[in-house]
Structure 1
């Protein structure tokens, strides 16, 4: 509830130590491809902590940082080693210490469904076949072959990503040792890659271990659809809220649905989960697996500004994908994984300033963090509004996704009659409303009003 996340794809954020660059490394700013490297690393993240502090975020989600040959690191070679092109264990501990000193939490990406084909156990299996002590770690035929088609189970049929066999207790014990090792370094939680492809009975064991070592740890699963099964209190605390993102895209970015259908969709999502789970959901506009949100908006800043206003005022945990706050664009992977732009002259300053303001308001206002959500206004076109209420704090958030000025008139309950003040996007004069809250909403505008009493 008190957290604003920032997701970083480490190879593309900042190169803080050129001495660990992989070879060859491409010039910063060049077009990303599936297999190229740009030299971003943990030292770079550490050096940019002041940027993160100034932006206002207080938690990081890092894509995988364990040793792996690719730029994305989802093909683990060694779970107990930092990838050398990102630094070493000391670099990691220094980054973690400085993040915590700055009040920023850290969750790591756990890729446990599959390893890479350079993982030591799989290499032993390839070399020794039925003589390998790790033959039960994977579901395979003998002799093990990768080409022209792998004869072992792998993720999406990719020969470089052999799937671990969680029916084998040695695999379970090994992965739990890995989880314990990194959790005990002081991290604040895990984001779990494709957890629905791992045996479901593993995750309660995982949860018990993590919560025993760190009762405050936050566990997020990568689930793309209905996640009720995973959010019953025995597996995950949260999931990446892609269904909410789909609604945001349809209403704000593409104008495919009216406010009435948008509100119905939101009501349906909240009905799936308890209020506690809804407030813990990992709410995102984009990630390393999706088009950049501004690209979906065809570069129209005004659409993204409304989506950001919604993201930071709706129940759940808001997440920013690195660079979205400055207007970065990109199609699907690998284009959505461009290098971070550090030349401020190339930033979209309005997006950046608005994001900072919204983060600040989110952290300041209890109503936005944990307040009750009530629909206030639904139209048959693009005008939408809701209340956020916590104790004496009352907020009204309004959106006009139309090309025309729209008049709004809301009947006020007795406890809401009196003085109101606009606090976003600009601070306005106090206005007194008796029975009705009335305002003309400019085209493509969004605003937050706060009850003054």
Structure 2
């Protein structure tokens, strides 16, 4: 089926990538788009290519049509008003190392993290760059010349209301009668002037299904669906609309009236503790067999889910430069040995998440050589840009692809087209060794669908590298593809910075960069400890929907170790925060053994006390319904230092409430909370000296205390 997918939602000023699903690269010229209907004043016209980067120019509903080898299909795009505001991305000149002002550039999501493209103006000692941005937090970096490692990163808060949220519900069992009702729970965004009842809710039947919008009876936040004549389930989408529009939700309405939610993560993920392994540093032998022998250790930690850095063929130790997507790396072992390792993990109730790298390939991949040589059928496999548009000096180019030693020093890769033009392969940041593939190519889209199919039945989930570099529409196709085979399959995104749109039928769990940066700042003494709570509650402010899960961590394979940067006083508090806040906690290998280098060999002889602490934290989370699934609630507290923060987790199922008190500073701090507490620490198992004062409890906290709230508290 080459239908392009569900209705899409955006604002004027944004673009939506539209493309046929399961494309036939051999018949690319047959695909043809057309504009069937558009809002008044729109000048939208269709391109001649099969993949369309559609940019609505007026708010309203667009009806588009795709002629494909298998038939004609419609796709709708609902565009909402432009909410962007003018913003200035500034930096004081003296914050950059010694540099030439003519060589300063900046990057961020606004230019897809492309190196040396946007150049600021310098006035009165301040660099500035003006942009139109949506309300929210925007992270950006200033770079002097090519000194990317010493880039200065900042955040800019653009004022304005946050996105509203919507959650669809309906009968879970068959209904009597000819119709069923789907109800939208709509909530306004932060700083919105709308109340929940004032929000509009728009419902749309999926263009792939047998019903139309005219078959719906809309009454405010409810949609009644006639099911009498339904032969197949239909998908119903909805967005909440205030000053801005929400991430869309979707349910499946069956002919018997049952309503099934489509965006919810697998149930097992809500209680999971993830452990990341850098595969070539976890054991001395660096093989799947040696990993398999360590599975009992993983079980002893209590982790439920294992995330492996890439295990496919690659010339690098980290594995993110992939040369063969259909076989395991020869130094790690055979595919059979990898599958044996996965089976062993399953025997110990540990799921395995595979690192899916489809934003780029290695420069050593055969397809890149052929694309660089303009071999027919491969010319458009990668994003090639005109030399003059990239800011790259011609003297810095790598030798032409196809010549001797074309990858010397990983200089920017270049090719000469049949027309004699010099082009540069696009790459993000300073990642010259991993050129970006081109999703305008039907061959690329078809190729990576085969990659997904190759591994989806082998592992339990994909952690998707550089997810922000791959089009939303393609992730939606992958989401439906893997979930149709296994609804329990997990999709974890790496989106930096994070964006709520990836929760719309694309990913189950999202990198929580907001909490990560807050924990670093608190640990370094740059922010007070209560910034942790602000970050933990940020997903709602950022517009993430209710069903989204967030992976919370203090370090990973791309970052310096928290222990090395922030010290042991802060680390215990930070790790406790990750394991006691809502979300999906992640432990990076070696973190529990006192590792100080981000990809070092696992220090098996390391800090046994820290390992015991991590093990007990994981156990406490699993044993407490409040810590695993409870709501985050405020806890009134007093302390003399801003290195202290306290909060509570409250379970709805068994009336359990747990108080967490953290001290990121050196020494101990006396903290008073307004609740009565039980003396036994749920992590250490030891009784603490508590003092009942003023209707609450006072205690000394060196790093972390996790205590049940007393029944009379």
When normalised by structure 2's length, the TM-score is: 0.54
In structure 1, the residue matched to 2:514 is 243
TM-superposed deviation, 1:292: 0.7
In structure 1, the residue matched to 2:525 is 255
Q: Structure 1 or 2: larger strand share?
A: 2
In structure 2, the residue matched to 1:326 is 593
In the alignment, the residues of structure 2 paired with residue 69 and residue 61 of structure 1 have an alpha-carbon distance, to the nearest angstrom, of 21
In the TM superposition, what are the counterparts of 1:7-406 in structure 2 within 5 Å?
7-16=276-285, 40-126=286-372, 129-140=373-384, 144=401, 146=406, 149-151=412-414, 152-156=424-428, 158-185=431-458, 187-231=459-503, 233-251=504-522, 253-272=523-542, 273-277=544-548, 280-297=549-566, 300-330=567-597, 336-342=598-604, 344=605, 347-377=606-636, 381-390=642-651, 391=653, 392-403=655-666, 406=669
Q: 1:182 to 1:418 in 2, by over 3 A?
A: closer
In structure 2, the residue matched to 1:19 is none
Q: 1:418 to 1:75 in 2, by over 3 A?
A: closer
2:271 counterpart of 1:2: yes
In the alignment, the residues of structure 2 paired with residue 356 and residue 258 of structure 1 have an alpha-carbon distance, to the nearest angstrom, of 28
* Partner SS, residue 445 of structure 2: helix
Q: 1:445 to 1:288 in 2, by over 3 A?
A: closer
In the alignment, the residues of structure 2 paired with residue 323 and residue 158 of structure 1 have an alpha-carbon distance, to the nearest angstrom, of 26
Q: 1:445 to 1:180 in 2, by over 3 A?
A: same
Provide, for residues 50-99 of structure 1, a one-character-per-residue CA deviation record: whole Å limited to 9, x for no partner.
Answer: 11111211211111111111111111111000010110111011001101
Provide, for residues 190-230 of structure 1, a one-character-per-residue CA deviation record: whole Å limited to 9, x for no partner.
Answer: 11111111222211111111111221111111112232121
Mean alpha-carbon deviation: is it higher for 212-221 or for 320-329? Answer: 212-221
Q: 1:78 to 1:227 in 2, by over 3 A?
A: same
Displaced runs of 4+ in structure 1, greater than 6 A?
429-435
* Partner SS, residue 97 of structure 1: helix
- The answer on whether the counterparts of 2:322 and 2:361 sit within 8 Å (CA) in structure 1 is yes
Mean alpha-carbon deviation: is it higher for 70-79 or for 112-121? Answer: 112-121
Q: Structure 1 or 2: larger helix share?
A: 1
Gaps (5+ residues) in structure 1? 17-39, 331-335
Higher relative contact order (CA 8 A, sep 6+): 1
- The answer on whether the counterparts of 2:673 and 2:697 sit within 8 Å (CA) in structure 1 is yes
Paired positions, count: 408
- The answer on whether the counterparts of 1:419 and 1:433 sit within 8 Å (CA) in structure 2 is no
In the alignment, the residues of structure 2 paired with residue 303 and residue 245 of structure 1 have an alpha-carbon distance, to the nearest angstrom, of 13
Q: 1:377 to 1:349 in 2, by over 3 A?
A: farther
Q: 1:411 to 1:314 in 2, by over 3 A?
A: same
In the alignment, the residues of structure 2 paired with residue 430 and residue 291 of structure 1 have an alpha-carbon distance, to the nearest angstrom, of 36
How big is the alpha-carbon RMSD for the aligned residues of Structure 1 and Structure 2?
A: 2.5
